[in-house]
Structure 1
Amino acid sequence: TEIPEAVRAALQQDHIKMTNPDRALTKIAKMVAGGAEELLVVSDFDHTMSRAYDEAGERCWATYGVFEHAPELGDLGDKLKAQLAHYLPIEFDGHMTIEEKIPHMEEWWTQSHEAIVASGVERRVLEQLVLHSNIRLRDNAALLLSHLEKARVPIVMFSAGVGDVISIFLSQQLGSVPTNMHLISNMMIYDEQNAVSGFHEPLIHTFNKNGTVITKAEEHFYDQMRQRDNVILLGDSMGDLHMDVGVENHREVDTLKIAFLNKKDHLLPYYLDGYDIVIVDDQSMDIPTQIIDAIT
């Protein structure tokens, strides 16, 4: 199967890095041959589907940013920032294994959720906070999402952030959450007054953001997913590399792994070791869009 010339040319741009271009092109060719029916997209949200930096080079928010920058929620922002200062060094500690980090991550997320619940934030307030937030879709991400919906290609959106922020944000940006999207994230529970009273289990943190957290209620969706042999994975961290675990159901699935490295830095060799394609310092969805256009 021929890969369109435009896709080959796009992958030859200076900011597109590949350790093994032949392997990446072989995967793409197989996916082009399989078409839309065989395709599944698995994506992270924060700084993958959303921008990491705005046009001025300012850092865009992740979903938790909505709570960190909300003076109307009292001292919640200060609490979350203090937790971040304590736990972030643990998340990135090169001398600890993932197994050693997990209890700390569970503790961090639990404390964050407890602080959000204690703030008593109401759904309508949350909607306003999201509307005025500095969360931004990547350039052409809306186009990509609408293309996937039209082509009936399912997209699993994983996030260790707050899922309600994502669903509100997508509804505000796109008019509604795409019908082909399955959001797996930390979803809020609301009381009779529509204030947040808790979070649904299981807790989804940096290191379990994959198919192992799928609940029994979602199994039907996953049985359909597992018929699809070609997976495109989009992420922006080393932790995102394993989001396809549990989605592939132990079959031979070809996953094309695409990373956004949001700043040119020392992590490039690590990203190249895990990902087929690394897109450096580019706040658009142009490369994934061109590849998916060729497949569908």
Structure 2
Amino acid sequence: MNLDNLLQNAGSKIHIKDPGKLRTVLQQYLDDGHHLLQILTDFDRTLTKHSSNGELNPSTHAVLESSGLFSADYRDKTTNLRNKYYPIEMDPSISQAEKEELMIKWWSTAHKLLLQEEIKKADIQSVVKESSVKFRNFYENFRSVICARSIPMLVFSAGIGTIVREIFLQKSAYRLQNVEIISNFLHFNNAGVHDGFEGPLIHTFNKGRTSHLNKEYFTRTAKRKNVLLMGDTLGDLEMGNNLDSDKYNIVKIGFLNDKNEQNRAFYVKSYDIVIEDPESMEFVFKLLCCLLNVKPEDHLEEVDSKSSPCSAKTNGPVHARALTCPSPEAEISGIVCISPTGVTAQE
């Protein structure tokens, strides 16, 4: 499938704001090749599913909030917070200035409640293992393509970075290959007990004011002028605020997951491409294949997330390169997870 066929036959769940302008920008992507491409993406319900068969997929905060390791009081209070503030976060009729104040209150209160639970560093693996969080369908295929070509992916999450990191390690065959993370990382004391957070608070609507804190990544990728930006809220649009629009070609892809009828017009006005699918990123995978002149069938083989991708079966040399990765130890010890302070978060 070529790019024109993909765009023209996208289906009723794919909305394109300005087809002509988008086609022009994507042609530039095609001409430039993978060496000038980078991915800038949200995590919760963008790379992961929003829901599956009507059941909500947990965010990284909810992974902790639903864990049996913590008190019922903690679970009840955080659930009440989510029920109160989540509708506000997703309501396009409320101004961003008003939302910001409320989001700070939500995040700060939730983080204070978590601090009281005295979570241990050793508990993180089991908390993620017992959770039902899942990556979107075609996520591993998408990662196969970008890992084959060493295309960097910066994950910018207002969730819990420590949980984001562990989800990559446990639930993706490609683990942390070519991934860097800006997020709210848990800080642990010498006894391995959570005692605070690293760096400033990141919430849904201040990503544009905190992305510059990771200068090292943006300096290193400055020549990659073509940016696929992906998010599921209007606040995620700000992830690219520090990128000069005269230099960078940014294509913004939004996943419309909630109150679609109410929110659709706002999303189509703000994003270049809007996808109404709570479970899959198939369109993004196929778009990436078109942009890189890759055959989708070369990256459709399933990879077991519990095994190393290095040992998976391949369908030819391109797929074999997609499964080339450092050892798990190298991935963990390398500079892969970046806190808002720019300090590498490692074991």
- Give the TM-score normalised by the residue count of structure 2: 0.77
Q: 1:252 aligns with which of 247, 252, 259?
A: 247
Identity score, percent: 27
**Deviation by residue 1:98-144 (Cα, 9 ceiling, x = unmatched):** 23332332232122112112101112322111112121100110221
Distance (Å, rounded) in 2 between the aligned partners of 1:22 and 1:44 = 26
Could you tell me whether the CA contact under 8 Å between 1:145 and 1:178 is conserved in 2?
no
Q: Structure 1 counterpart of 2:267, which letter? A: Y
Q: Give the alignment's Cα RMSD to 1 decimal.
A: 2.2
2:264 maps to 268
1:282 shift after superposition: 5.0
Could you tell me whether the CA contact under 8 Å between 1:204 and 1:213 is conserved in 2?
no
Q: Structure 2 counterpart of 1:229, which letter? A: K
Q: 2:30 aligns with which of 29, 32, 56?
A: 32
Q: Which runs of 5+ in 1 are unaligned?
A: none
Q: Output aligned runs, 1:24-173, within 5 Å.
A: 24-54=22-52, 56-74=53-71, 75-88=73-86, 90-92=88-90, 96-173=94-171
Distance (Å, rounded) in 1 between the aligned partners of 2:85 and 2:282 = 34
2:225 maps to 229
- Give the TM-score normalised by the residue count of structure 1: 0.89
1:68 shift after superposition: 1.9
Q: Residues 65, 212 of structure 1: CA spacing in aligned structure 2 closer, same or farther, 3 A cutoff?
A: closer
Q: Structure 1 counterpart of 2:248, which letter? A: V
Could you tell me whether the CA contact under 8 Å between 2:92 and 2:263 is conserved in 1?
no
1:192 matched to 2:190? The reply is yes
Could you tell me whether the CA contact under 8 Å between 1:67 and 1:76 is conserved in 2?
no
Q: Structure 1 counterpart of 2:234, which letter? A: M
Q: Output aligned runs, 1:208-227, within 5 Å.
A: 208-210=206-208, 212-215=210-213, 218-227=214-223
**Deviation by residue 1:161-191 (Cα, 9 ceiling, x = unmatched):** 1011111011001256323111111001112
Distance (Å, rounded) in 2 between the aligned partners of 1:58 and 1:88 = 16
Distance (Å, rounded) in 2 between the aligned partners of 1:222 and 1:211 = 14
- Spell out structure 1 runs of 4+ moving beyond 6 A: none
Q: Structure 1 counterpart of 2:240, which letter? A: D
Q: Residues 95, 258 of structure 1: CA spacing in aligned structure 2 closer, same or farther, 3 A cutoff?
A: closer
1:239 maps to 235
Q: Structure 2 counterpart of 1:7, which letter? A: L
Q: 2:286 aligns with which of 280, 286, 290?
A: 290
Count of residues in Structure 1 that have an aligned counterpart in Structure 2 = 290
Distance (Å, rounded) in 1 between the aligned partners of 2:245 and 2:256 = 29
Distance (Å, rounded) in 1 between the aligned partners of 2:61 and 2:172 = 21
Distance (Å, rounded) in 1 between the aligned partners of 2:190 and 2:174 = 24
Distance (Å, rounded) in 2 between the aligned partners of 1:10 and 1:170 = 32
Distance (Å, rounded) in 1 between the aligned partners of 2:92 and 2:257 = 20
| 3-state SS of 2:55 partner | coil
Higher mean C-alpha displacement, 237-246 vs 79-88: 79-88
Could you tell me whether the CA contact under 8 Å between 2:155 and 2:181 is conserved in 1?
yes
1:92 shift after superposition: 4.8
